[in-house]
Amino acid sequence: MISRREVIVSFLGAAALQGCRRRAPEVPGSLVDRIHQVGHLLRQGELPRAQEDTAKLDCLVVGGGAAGLSAAWRLRGAGLESVRVVEVEDVFGGTAQSGKNDISAFPWGAHYLPAPLTNSGPVPRLLRELGVVTGVDEQGAPTFAEEALIREPEERLFYKGHWYEGLYLRAGASPEDLAQLHRFEQVTASLAAARDAKGRKAFAVPIETGSDDAEWTQLDRLSMADWLTREGFTSPRLTWLVDYACRDDYGATAQHISAWAGLWYFCARQTGEEKNDGYLSWPEGNGRLVSQLAKSLSPDQLQKNVLIHSLEEAEGGWHAHGLDAKTRTPVRYFARQVVLATPRHVAGRVLSAWRTARPKFLEAFVSGPWVVANLTLNERPRGRGFPLAWDNVLYDSKSLGYVMANHQAARASDVGPAVATWYYPLADGDVLSERKRLLATTYEDWRAIILADLLPAHFGLEKQLQRIEVMRWGHAMVRPVPGFIWGPARQEAQVPLSGTLHFAHSDLGGLAVFEEANWHGVRAAEAVLAGLQRVSASWL
């Protein structure tokens, strides 16, 4: 047993104790994560099996996150009726799921989508269905509904008692700091404009549409931190910004992320001459996108609380053995085609053939743990300096700060109750140790950590807090560690089994972003359609 103060130091560092009171306010709340309790049944060996088929399907989609729902969306777009999506949780969406209370909807994970640069591909198609893409400009680039673009102010940064505009700390920056920032922006703009002999961008969204030329992919062999050092970028303010970007998008520090992935963050969503139109977001974050995908399916095609624990090849297709997650009643599905839309660590336990002979490429997939907390406030937090923004980041914190879930819905006065969504990646290199540390924490631990983190930036916050709910993600997102993006494992992991079982998940893209999940879901679905001999023009 360790003291609460030691827990705070463990997660935030000794400096955070200045925000720690002798006794944390008794803010009501709870841990809301439950998936590991059911998911860990996969480790218990042989589980009970049904002897008859619960349903016979043309396609079973295992996993109701963004990738699985994207696959089902594509299948329904081709008119396939015999489809079912099964999900172990009692909500769909995976790390894009959301919640809601009397004040606002809010995200439990991904909370924005960068506005796409082009009008082609599955993501713009989905945005058109949602009414977010409203047309195209003179250059053929999409235009977006104003209400979906994040309103000002977008971002601010807390440093030494004050809030400042933006995420780069310009206050007190030296001429050398600013010169290095300018040079970094020039380098990333040049890389964003780079094309290979086939006309492909060096850094594209999704990455499969970009270049695989060695000129750029060799950047995957070293870490982003090493690349900064090699290129002479030593300004603490710039290295902080890059490290923050890696923690924000990938859940790990620049030391543990490949230079290719680190540069992708800055290059993929600009052309070199202009950047994209910003970020698209809603109070529930990417939960809005998940809901739109699910609308393509009827209620009987979406089944929650089902744990598929064994996939075994059968004559003419596959048997999927599972359990009702609530009653533990066994179920069995037969499907001519299957889309396994789970992370690799789950696929390695679900596929019977992989339990017998575990593929080596599974070891290359590393997923990091996160914590997301939603804070219900009776009024918006107060602080000195630049006003409350959508994204509010603390310079000296190991957390990522918080986003205001109802920022988009707020009125000009910006007063009244609010929900703040706070993010914390366990960003060290030893993910197994971090995951164990995460699962050992209690609600009271996280209440103390969150208050220690935020109180220095917000006087009176403890009086404004009405409730805190905490979600612990043990395997939140794949990490693009050096050598992974352009190593062989990602491609090997995409190869279908027997031409009838197809894989889909953001980890196959190497980046835990919605565009990758969506693209791989659609890719897998189109392989299913081909296997069922249903002709349909590609959405990719």
CATH of the domain at 418: 3.90.660
Note whether 353 and 494 are same-domain residues.
Answer: yes
Classify residue 250: in a domain, yes or no.
Answer: yes
Please tell me whether residues 220 and 239 are part of one structural domain.
Answer: yes
Q: What's the rounded Cα separation, in Å, for the pair 361 and 489?
A: 5
What is the DSSP annotation of 22-63?
SS-----EEE---HHHHHGGGGSS-----SS-SEEEEEEEE-
Among 258, 277, 296, the domain-final residue is 277
Please give the residue range of the domain that contains residue 68.
38-97+285-365+486-531
Give the count of beta carbons closer than 10 Å to the beta carbon of residue 519.
Answer: 27
Answer yes or no: do 357 and 502 share one domain: yes
Tell me whether residue 162 is in a domain.
no
Number of domains within the chain: 3
- Residue 413 lies inside a defined structural domain of this protein: yes
Any domain includes 502: yes
Same domain? 383 vs 452: yes
pLDDT of amino acid 1:
58
CATH of the domain at 511: 3.50.50.60
Q: Is the Cα dihedral 190, 192, 193, 196 positive or negative?
A: positive
Token pair, residue 185, equals: 């922006």
Residues 463 and 494 both lie in one domain: no
> Residue 237's domain is classified under what CATH number?
1.10.405
Predicted local distance difference test score (pLDDT) of residue 412:
47
Residues 373 and 471 placed together within one structural domain of the fold = yes
pLDDT, tens only, 188-230: 999 999 999 999 999 999 999 999 999 999 999 999 999 999 9
pLDDT for 45 equals: 67
Residues 79 and 27 in one domain: no
Cα radius of gyration rounded to whole Å, the chain:
23
β pairing state of 330-340 and 55-62? parallel
Dig out the tokens for 217 from the structure: 């992919």
509: left (phi over 0), alpha (psi -120 to 50) or beta: alpha
Let me know whether 490 and 358 are in one domain: yes
Q: Let me know whether 313 and 355 are in one domain.
A: yes
Given a cut of 70, the residues of the chain with pLDDT beneath it are: 1-2, 18-24, 35-40, 42, 44-45, 410-414
Do both 270 and 300 map to the same domain? Answer: no
Question: Of 153, 97, 163, which Cα lies nearest the Cα of 407?
Answer: 153
Domain-located, residue 102 = no
pLDDT of residue 125: 97
In terms of domains, do 348 and 382 share one? Answer: no
135 lies in a domain? no
Taking a C-beta distance cutoff of 8 angstroms, is the pair 386, 164 a contact? yes
Q: Is residue 87 part of a domain?
A: yes
From 433, 454, 478, give the residue that closes a domain: 478
Residue pLDDT, tens place only, 315-332 = 999 999 999 988 999 999
Do 350 and 434 share a domain, yes or no? no
Strand partners, 62: 86, 340
Q: How many CB atoms lie within 10 A of CB 8?
A: 23
Look at residue 23 in the predicted model and tell me its pLDDT: 61
**DSSP code of residue 502:** E
For residue 123, tell me if it sits in a domain: no
